[in-house]
Structure 1
Amino acid sequence: MSFEEKLSEFEKRKSKAEAMGSPRHLAARKEGGILNARERITALVEDGSFEEFGLFATSINPDMRDRTPADSAVCGFGSVDGRMMGINSADFSTVAASSGRVQLKKYNHIRDLCVKNGHPLINLMECGGGRLPDVMGAAGIGAGGESGRYFSRRVVPTAAGVLGLTYGRGAFSCVLSDFTVMRRGAILAVSSPNVTSGSIGETGSLEELGGTNVHGKITGLIDKIVDSDEEALLAIRKFLSYLPDHNRMAPPVVPVPAGADDRGTDLPDLVPIERRKTYDIRRAIEAIVDPDSFFELKERFARPAVTGLARLGGQTVGIIATNPRYKGGALDADSCSKITNFIVLCDSFNVPLVFMADTPGFLIGTEAERRGMAGRIMNFLAAVEEATVPKIALVLRKSFGQAYINMGGGKADETAAWFSSEISFMDPKIAASVVFTGKEDGSGKSLEELTAELSSDTTPYSLAAPYLGHAVIDPRETRSYLISRLAIHSRSLTNGVGEHRLANWPPVSF
């Protein structure tokens, strides 16, 4: 063949691969306002920056090579907000982006290059599960065990989007990511309804199987829920903006917005001094951190706990707070797991932690014990103790019992409290009801008198006197206190890089 003939063949093969799969499917997506695999990458990266890997890959099955352009995956590297990132984008228009051996090799190659060279990884998933008959038989499943990548030490941050029907390996890659955003209408499940129905005879809607309500509210596997592909990509970009490219770097520092120090005076109004009044801790967080910088994770899951990334003085911090608006701020089993997973994320990528406690303690009772409350509390505490990033614990209004310790009290680099706060083993009124046995012991003291006695030692000054607390502060000075103390506790000797003791923690802690 002449050069011109070979060029013609090259252009033809390239065009076919770039055109992806079913034209009918692609047209239906466009009509429904859903981006395809290549459009998602185009919307994510800077113009002209994407370098594709494996454009001419096809199925390992010779009979399917003509029907599997790029083997249903668009993979490569591109610039996202000026930073090089690896991207795996599933092409659902080609055999439903089912997991084939060549596709898996492409995904693994991008992932391995990211880990080796220190680039964040983005997985845009939408796949129909394992590709039949490729995965059938002993050799089929054996190849999956041999070549699969199901865990790695947290070296680079990973973000994933659940952007359609996502089963099998596609679902697993999302669960294994540090951040997962899900578009409404998408589904995340181990297996499709057809497999579920055939295996166990269970029927139900897709939403019940693995929709946004299931994973946003019940399982906590999803960090953010959005309405469109474009919003999902924006959420991924925003999440990664708080983190370094890899774990040997400190997080990025950005300019501090004008007026950032002006809102702290509102805190006495945002947090009522009466400890039985409810309020939304998120409003207080927003008054403390840099304007518009609070990026909450798992907002609908385990609502007594609030976790999110933010900036203080332009620097990334991880916020862990209790929210009296839900269950009075008492931390339940799911709250423990939510906080544990967040500590793992922050410790793995050198993000300092700020604990903001306003809690009556852990939620106890029969249901809590059946959900392994004691184990979850200890997992939570183990993560606090093992984290080597700077940690500041702050009591806003009250902090009682073991929850005081888990929320950093005595475990953080610095423990402080608002001058109006209360700290004790338990709520003094509850303690009085336990202690009060006047009719039996002849003390003659009323419940109110005992409560007053037990409350006398719960002030932050009682914590500060034996130097168990390092500071008592005016609520209005919270922002300046945190910024100055974080500067003192910064890990200058290691350039802001921690020891990453939690980097091998399981992907999801329950």
Structure 2
Amino acid sequence: MRGVNRLLIANRGEVAVRVLRAAADLDLDAVAVYAEDDAEALHVRLAENAVRLPGTGPAGYLDGAALLAAARSSGCDAVHPGYGFLSENADFARACQEAGLTWVGPDPGTLELLGDKTRARALARELGIPVLDGGGVEGAEAFLAAGSAVMIKAVAGGGGRGMRVVRPGEDLAEAVRRCRSEARTAFGDDEVFVERYLPRARHIEVQLRDDVVLGDRDCSLQRHRQKLVEIAPAPGLAAETRQALAGAATALARRAGYRGLGTVEFLVADGEWYFLEVNPRLQVEHTVTEEVTGLDLVRLQLTGERITETPVPQGFAIQARVHASGRLDAYEPPGGRGLRVDGCGYSGYRLNPRYDPTLAKVIAHDVTLEGAARRLRRALKEFRVEGAATNRELLRDLLSRPEVGNAHTTFVDEVLPEAPAVEQDAAVVTAPMTGTVVEVHRSAGEAVASGAVLLVLEAMKMEHPVVAQTGGVIAELLVKPDDVVTAGQRLAVLTPGEVAAEEGGGSQELDLDTPRPDLAALRERRALTLDDARGTKVDSWHAAGRRTARENIADLCEDFVEYGGLAIAAQRRRRSAEDLMANTPADGLVGGVGTIDGHRVIAMSYDYLVLAGTQGQRGHAKKDRLFELAEQARLPVVLFAEGGGGRPGDTDGSGVTGLDCMAFALYARLNGKVPLVGIASGRCFAGNAALLGCSDVVIATPEASIGMGGPAMIEGGGLGVFHPDEVGPTGVQRTNGVIDLMAEDDADAVRLARRYLPYFQGPAATWEAPDQRLLRHAVPENRLRVYDVRRVIDGLSDVDSVLELRRDFGQGAITALVRVAGRPLGLIANNPAHLGGAIDSPAADKIARFLQLCDAYGLPVLSLCDTPGFMVGPDAERTATVRHVSRMFVNAAGLSVPFGTIVLRKGYGLGAQAMAAGGFRVPRFIVSWPTGEFGPMGLEGAVRLGYRKELAAIGDPAERQARFEEMVAAEYARGKATNVASAFEIDDVIDPAESRHWISTLLTPGTPKARVVDTW
């Protein structure tokens, strides 16, 4: 890595040891990290420098802020994430880069795309790569009802964590709960999805460096979807299948612009193959690819060296993962020719059951598959591990079977089942595996039915319920939470006994309509957050013609899921909990996720009935949470911003100024990534106004007053005493450009928000075109007669599809979202009814900013040109015209979306070039209606300037005027649209009724582009 001096290894165990050694071979300083309960790990002992993290267990290594602090404090300028933990976390990768650290892995954008299994599946489907049917958890019931099993999978991470197979008749909800819990523990993200389960399939991986294939591997030998043995190259794979998998992996990498190491995984069964996922990182099984290619993959990561050709594999390599639990009284790895051991053990080390149990990876290489398997069996036999329990015998058993190299993913579970949880000759419940007791559901003396869950074990970051195989009474319960148990250890003893109906773990018929006491208490607590609990306050609000925060959100979206509904103001030091629950519900900010016409959206509203909608500590935390979710899931945000700004009365916590609040930065960071809608109804000051101003579009009702400081702040600054309604009324903010859309009331504001968002959600399913013949009469034959360009816009667009933004600002230009043949577009137009269509500073600002908005969200732009040019003169220059109008050229030059121009009448000078994205050769098309006229400047002005002396020489005023009109007519004939088209300076002159055909043919949807959209 060019310019890197010191590397932080943000991981543990054998992969941390692997990277430490690779860094040492390159003479690169490396710093290890360790959680508080992991100080004795081998990677800590080997590292010259190690930094302790504040947490314990996996959570310690999932603390991105702590890892960044460790990098800074130790002087590191690069971070290697290893695999697992935060290796696929785009936010952490981005945070590293923003902190000036080199991230050893794919860039954050690639992690967001390919680290999210649902987005990766969508990309594969887009490229025509076979993908198993699947989607959100809500779709699982349909698969199960059709008789198909489903696989629940974590969206983030990999390694088999957060995965469950659910078959028809099994408990889907419990499987989802367990998967979420495991995913949250392993990756810090509990989002899951489902796909159709493909039984008896081979698991084949393709290793990439950038978009170059380095080889493939078979990883089918698994237990509970945890890999045990991996082989490179994949044995017995048909040549055409191998080639197809490599081609699919390359296509995915190229479309994603992939850089770095990565693995594309597939399922292969009965001659068919399906894309599974992408792991955009180093993988545990990278070792077998190294052995058959001679490449050092970690070295490639650290040096940045490129590979241009697929290497030819030499022989076969097999890796066996040795798992262990307990204390290593002796640890002596095997050796010899063709053997490699990547381990993290030493004599005297006690393995921590909270982490992955991998003790070592033993890798054997030979010219034949049989030779490699034989060598690996010998190595496992020689591997001396005493004191700790291992799976070496299981691995040796597997490697002796003829199915090695041609197994499917459930082969191990079928041929080598684990011991049952209950001994057959006695009702003794034993541990099915080594792990940690995380939950105990029953107690001694309790009667349980067959199938009742007694306790839950955590092993390899996965949770395993232990159930009673027979009914009885618990005579002994031998464990408690946090106990570490080994496979076969006695957990409980059941004595025979009749299980009473009320104690039978489900034998009694449940009353599904009567809530348990804990649920009843929760319902009572939630009732305090609802409008019904606030009586007279809500009545007074309604009397003033206003709606509450919850009413607005209920009108905006369906299926609303609220975050932080039970939060209260951070004022426990000065007020009772009962007072806060009754008077500060949700801390004055209602927020969560809902849907609008089937599309998910973040919706949040300040509640003016709670402390005047001020911004409290808990509200800030909720905003932060939801803004981060919006960025991760690419969800639009609708913010009802009414409120008075920062709240000085919160007393809980140790803060002083509150200036370390992240809400403003997080909301601003969404700019250009997801649509942001701000709504102001009533008083919106200070911090609330700042958030409103960061929105893409501002909607306001007539009673709104918007200001960066409220009356108290103004008075405190010695600037006078003002009523709140005087600070920034809509009469001011509408004409100065702050407000984009004026609404009649709260309900209309919601309607406008619901109308705005669909422009960024793809084409409409149905649409209606106006009578296009009317366009032939929209521009008067008299070239000097003014006309209403909005009638042209309505005539070109689908019926009822025009949404004009900032109508009362920059009136010389019109900016609107429209649809043509159902497809959304951005539209800019000159307004000949204002300054004859001349572009002044406000109009230029309005257009320039609108171009950014369209480009950020992939909306093609249609320009309707009718301008004599830019506004000139001393008065115009006092508005900084030179800078403002030039914004149109700069922003148009940066467009990545298609742009098309139709000249309605005047196309003169620099103004016309600006309306054509900088010049007539820039747009995808520039055509004119028959009424079009062109020139380097207005015809009359051109004649007066060009023929000044000749006209001045004519003494008779009448003769002079006649000569002037004759010259103007000649210039008009020269600049007439058909004459300009004959020189091919424009693409064509068209019948106005043909305009929609040009638009729908050439203005195809663009690709959203991450860019900043100016708030102005």
Query: What TM-score, normalized by structure 2, do the two folds share?
Result: 0.46
Partner AA of 1:101 in structure 2? Q
Secondary structure in 1 matching 2:863: strand
Q: Which residue of 2 aligns with 1:248?
A: none
Give yes or no for contact 1:22–1:94 (8 Å, CA) kept in 2. no
The structure with the larger Rg is: 2
The alpha carbon displacement at 1:120 in A equals: 1.3
Q: Matched residues in 2 for 1:81 and 1:150: separation?
A: 24
Please say which of residues 91-100 and 363-372 is displaced more in the overlay: 363-372
Name which of 50, 70, 76 aligns with 2:586: 70
Residue 51 of structure 1 is matched in structure 2 by 561
Whole-Å Cα distance in 1 between the matches of residues 824 and 948 of structure 2? 51
Name which of 753, 756, 778 aligns with 1:239.
756
How big is each residue's C-alpha offset from its partner over 1:161-183, in whole Å with a ceiling of 9 and x where there is no partner? Answer: 11221112221222111122101
Per-residue deviation at 1:455? 3.0
- Could you say which residue in structure 1 is the equivalent of 2:632? 116
After the TM superposition, which of the residue ranges 457-466 and 307-316 deviates more from structure 2? 457-466
Structure 1 stretch displaced more, 300-309 or 129-138 = 129-138
- Deviates further, 467-476 or 94-103: 467-476
SS at match of 2:682: strand
> 2:553 aligns to what?
41
Question: What is the number of equivalent residue pairs in this alignment?
Answer: 485
- Measured after TM superposition, the shift of residue 16 of structure 1 is 1.7
Q: Is 1:282 matched with 2:282?
A: no
Instruction: Pick one of 598, 602, 619 that aligns with 1:86.
Output: 602
Decide which of 131, 140, 143 is 2:660's aligned counterpart.
Answer: 143
Report the residue type matching 2:611 in the other structure.
V
- 1:473 equivalent in alignment to 2:968: no
* Deviation at residue 471 of structure 1 after TM alignment: 1.6
Task: Describe how 1:349-368 pairs up with structure 2 within 5 A.
Answer: 349-368=857-876
Aligned to 2:935: 424
Counterpart secondary structure, 2:773:
helix
Q: CA–CA distance in 1 between the matches of 2:539 and 2:832?
A: 48
Paired amino acid for 1:460 = A
Q: How far 1:139 sits from its partner (Å)?
A: 2.6
Distance 1:60 1:148, change over 3 A: farther
- Give yes or no for contact 2:531–2:550 (8 Å, CA) kept in 1: no
Amino acid at match of 2:948: T
Query: CA separation of 1:373/1:357 partners in 2, compared to 1, >3 Å: closer, same or farther?
Result: same
Secondary structure at the aligned position of 1:362 is classed as coil
> Structure 2 CA distance, aligned partners of 1:194 and 1:364?
42
- Picking from 542, 550, 566, the partner of 1:30 is 542
Deviation track 1:128-184 (CA, whole Å, cap 9, x = no partner) reads 111014499983243236874352241111112112211122212221111221011
Structure 2 residue aligned with 1:185: 703
Rounded to whole Å, the distance in 2 between the matches of 1:458 and 1:202 is 58
Q: What is the alpha-carbon distance in structure 2 between the residues aligned to residue 484 and residue 143 of structure 1?
A: 50
Conserved 8 A contact 2:840-2:885: no
Secondary structure in structure 1 of the residue aligned to 2:643: strand
How far apart are the structure 1 equivalents of 2:699 and 2:635?
20
- 1:6-405 alignment runs, 5 A limit: 6-7=518-519, 9-19=521-531, 23-46=535-558, 49-62=559-572, 63-64=574-575, 66=580, 67-134=583-650, 139-144=656-661, 148-149=665-666, 151-152=668-669, 153-217=671-735, 219-244=736-761, 251-257=762-768, 260-262=769-771, 264-405=772-913
Matched letter for residue 566 of structure 2: F
The whole-number CA distance in structure 1 between the counterparts of 2:672 and 2:906 is 35
The separation in 2 between residues aligned to 1:204 and 1:400, in whole angstroms, is 47
Paired with 2:831 and 2:848, the residues of 1 have a C-alpha distance of 16
The CA distance in 2 between the partners of 1:320 and 1:353, in whole Å, is 7
Matched AA of 1:279: Y
Q: Which amino acid aligns with 1:472?
A: V
Give the Cα–Cα distance (whole angstroms) in 1 for the partners of residues 664 and 952 of structure 2. Answer: 71
Structure 1 pair 207–403 and aligned structure 2 pair: CA distance change class (3 A): farther
- Partner SS for 1:220: coil
The secondary structure found in structure 2 opposite 1:116 is: helix
Structure 2: segments with no counterpart, 5+ residues: 1-514
Cα contact 2:588–2:610 (8 A) shared by 1: yes
Give the Å deviation of 1:205. 4.9
Point out the structure with the larger strand share: 2
Task: Name 1:434's counterpart in structure 2.
Answer: 945
Task: Kindly state the Cα deviation for residue 56 of structure 1 after the two structures are TM-superposed.
Answer: 1.5
The answer as to 2:448 corresponding to 1:448 is: no
Give the helix-richer structure, 1 or 2: 1
Which structure exhibits the higher relative contact order, with contacts defined as CA atoms closer than 8 Å and separated by 6 or more residues?
Answer: 1
In 1, the alpha carbon distance for the partners of 2:553 and 2:664 equals 26
Aligned to 2:498: none
| Stretch moving more, 438-447 or 110-119 | 438-447
Letter in 2 for 1:165: R
Secondary structure of 2:601's match? strand
Deviation at residue 6 of structure 1 after TM alignment: 4.8
Unmatched 5+ residue regions in structure 1?
A: 245-250
What is the alpha-carbon distance in structure 1 between the residues aligned to residue 997 and residue 726 of structure 2?
A: 46
Contact 1:125 1:161 survives alignment (8 Å): yes
SS in structure 2 opposite 1:77?
strand
* Secondary structure of the corresponding residue to residue 30 of structure 1: helix
Give the conservation status (yes or no) of the 8 Å contact 1:254–1:315: no
Contact 2:973 2:979 in 1 (8 A): no
Shift in alpha-carbon separation, 1:266–1:356, aligned structure 2, 3 A: same
Residue 629 of structure 2 aligns to a residue in which SS? helix
8 Å contact kept, 1:125–1:164: no
Q: CA deviation at 1:78?
A: 0.9
Please give the alpha-carbon distance, in whole angstroms, between the structure 1 residues aligned to 2:829 and 2:996: 15
2:698–2:739 contact (8 Å) kept in structure 1: yes
The equivalent residue for 2:382 is none
Tell me how large the CA RMSD over aligned residues is. Answer: 2.5
2:971 counterpart of 1:460: no
SS at the partner of 2:974? coil
> Distance in 2 between the 1:143 and 1:59 partners?
18
- Superposed CA deviations along residues 442-489 of structure 1, whole A, max 9, x for unmatched, are 699843343334334212234323433112112232223322333xxx
Q: 1:72-115 CA deviation, whole Å, 9 max, x = no partner? A: 01111111111111111111111111011211111121121112
1:149 aligns to what SS in structure 2? helix
Moved more, 447-456 or 52-61: 447-456
CA distance in 2, matches of 1:147, 1:128: 15
Q: Secondary structure at the match of 1:151?
A: helix
- Cα separation, 1, equivalents of 2:1013 and 2:935: 32
- Quick one: which amino acid aligns to residue 173 of structure 1? L
- Deviation for aligned residue 1:434: 1.5
Report the CA distance between 1:270 and its aligned residue.
Answer: 2.1
| SS in structure 2 at match of 1:200 | coil
Where 1:387 maps in the other structure, the secondary structure is coil
More off after superposition, 133-142 vs 231-240: 133-142
Measure the CA separation in 2 of the matches of 1:163 and 1:232.
8
